[in-house]
A and B are shown apart, each in its own frame.
Chain A
Amino acid sequence: GAVVSQHPSWVICKSGTSVKIECRSLDFQATTMFWYRQFPKQSLMLMATSNEGSKATYEQGVEKDKFLINHASLTLSTLTVTSAHPEDSSFYICSAKTESSYNSPLHFGNGTRLTVT
Chain B
Amino acid sequence: AQSVAQPEDQVNVAEGNPLTVKCTYSVSGNPYLFWYVQYPNRGLQFLLKYITGDNLVKGSYGFEAEFNKSQTSFHLKKPSALVSDSALYFCADYGGSARQLTFGSGTQLTVLP
Contacts and interface: CB of A to CB of B under 8 A. Distances in A.
Interface in A93-117: 93-95, 102-103, 105-111, 113
Q: Is the interface of A mostly helix, strand, loop or mixed?
A: strand
Contact of A105 (B49, B98, B99, B100): B49
A44 interface: yes
B106 A42 contact: yes
B87 to A, nearest CB: 13
Interface residues of B, number: 22
Most chain A CB neighbours (cut-off 10 Å) among B42, B43, B101: B43
B51 interface: yes
Interface in B91-113: 94, 98-101, 103-106, 108
A49 interface: yes
A93 B43 contact: yes
Interface residues of A, number: 24
Interface of B: 32, 34, 36, 41-46, 49, 51, 90, 94, 98-101, 103-106, 108
Interface of A: 4, 6, 9, 34, 41-44, 46, 49, 91, 93-95, 102-103, 105-111, 113
